[in-house]
Amino acid sequence: MTVAGKHANSVPSRTVTDRTTEQLVNELKQRADTLIEALPYLRQFHGKTLVLKYGGNAMTDESLKHAVMQDLVLLGYVGIKCLVVHGGGPEISRLMARVGKEATFVDGLRVTDAETVELVEMALVGKISKQIVQHISQHGGKAVGLSGKDGGLMLARKLATTGPDLGLVGEVAAVDPEILELLTANGYTPVISSTAADAQGNTYNINADHVAGWIAAAARAAKLVMLTDIRGVLRDVEDESTLIPTLRATEVRELMGSDRIAAGMIPKLEACLHAVENGVERAHIIDGRLPHALLMEVFTDQGIGTMIVPD
């Protein structure tokens, strides 16, 4: 059975069965109550922009994937402008393996030659982005895939490193949000891949967490949400019960200066920091392994995961 079969647009025709039962009315009432509980959050975020960094299990698990798409489409219907930035490590590795290209690492960072960056772009733009666009479409939304090259969205530059040359690993040099505004103002959800060219036309692979942070700042987003495979920022990386619910910008800096943080968390914290220090109200690192984690974050007070706020 196809996805479309499960999530099709049509509303089933009204049926009568059991409609007199009290049980049904109770169910409906619960449903209505839950919708009403969402009201304060609708008020708060209506017309605002939200950037979702989409990655990890939520991108590979079929069921989680559809839950994220539903969340995005729903947020669109309630008047929140969503931008999606996606990663794609596993898909890149899979494609590299298929073409027999071996990965080389220097100090844990992948050396990216011209052939690698071409494979990265094909995997991200030609496969993952199109899947996301297609899934949003199937759930009733309208999306357009963009790389940094499209509409002049992002200009890249070679990442400055002190160690050996990593090749075509880049960073965001500039963001021009014009194409994002055009698309969101007309009801399209931009789906952004983390590749871009520099002024000379060289293509770079950029860390997707960073791209999300920089896009959020340029688009003056109200919220940046990063889906990860962990509960949030932990005091003790071994112990999920040590979740830190809220961090101010200064505390994030301190934490990054310490050795208490998992390596994979660093770029996420950098992105959140950049965002909240450039006009984004709140950034969140949340557990994408929970279905509908995005909705949970937007539509509850307690929130989930770690929230990062400006000083």
Where in 66-125 is the site for a second copy (CB under 8 A)?
67, 70-71, 73-74, 77-79, 95, 98-100, 118, 121-125
Query: At 114, which amino acid appears?
Result: A
Q: Could you tell me which residues are beta bridge partners of residue 308?
A: 247, 283
Name the region of 152 (left: φ>0; alpha: ψ -120 to 50; beta: rest): left
Minimal distance, residue 254 CB to a second copy, in Å: 19
Q: Which stretch binds a second copy (CB under 8 A): 157-165, 183-191, 247-255, 264-272?
A: 183-191
Which phi and psi (to 5°) does residue 145 adopt?
A: -80, 135
Residue 210: Cβ within 10 Å count: 21
User: What minimum distance in Å lies between the beta carbon of 242 and a second copy?
Assistant: 9
- Residue of 103, 106, 114, 199 that binds a second copy (CB under 8 A): 199
**Any idea which residue has 């007070």 for tokens?**
301
Nearest CB to a second copy, comparing residues 181 and 270 = 181
DSSP 103: P
**Residues whose CB is less than 8 angstroms from the CB of residue 306 and which lie 6 or more positions away in sequence, other chains included:** 232, 233, 243, 244, 245, 246, 247, 284, 285, 286
Question: CB-wise, 2 or 258, nearer to a second copy?
Answer: 2
Which stretch in 105-113, 197-205, 247-255, 258-266 sits in contact with a second copy by CB under 8 A? 197-205
Q: Is 19 exposed, middle or buried (0-12, 13-18, 19+ CB in 10 A)?
A: exposed
User: Using CB under 8 A, which residues numbered 36 to 55 contact a second copy?
Assistant: 36-44, 46
Residues 204-263 interacting with a second copy (rule: CB under 8 A): 241, 243, 245-246
Which of these ranges, 164-172, 213-221, 253-261, 284-292, lies near a second copy under the rule CB under 8 A? 284-292
- In whole angstroms, what is the distance from residue 186 CA to residue 181 CA? 8
Q: For residues 261 and 307, which CB has a smaller minimum distance to a second copy in the complex?
A: 307
With contacts defined by CB under 8 A, name the span among 18-26, 55-63, 162-170, 213-221 that binds a second copy.
18-26
Least distance to a second copy, CB of residue 130, Å:
6
Q: Of 28 and 262, which CB lies nearer to a second copy in the complex structure?
A: 28
Residues 222/45, Cβ–Cβ less than 8 Å: yes
3-state secondary structure of 146: strand
In whole angstroms, the minimum distance from the beta carbon of 134 to a second copy comes to 5
The reply on whether position 6 binds a second copy by CB under 8 A is no
Q: Given the complex with a second copy, which of 17 and 162 has the nearer CB atom? A: 17
Alpha-carbon distance of 311 to 105, in angstroms, equals 37
Query: In angstroms, how far is CA 216 from the centroid of its own chain?
Result: 11
Closer to a second copy by Cβ: residue 39 or 103: 39
CB 192 within 8 A of CB 240: no
Residues in region 127-166 near a second copy by CB under 8 A: 127, 129-130, 133-135, 137-140, 142-147, 149-152
From the list 119, 110, 117, 132, the residue with the least C-alpha distance to 192 is: 132
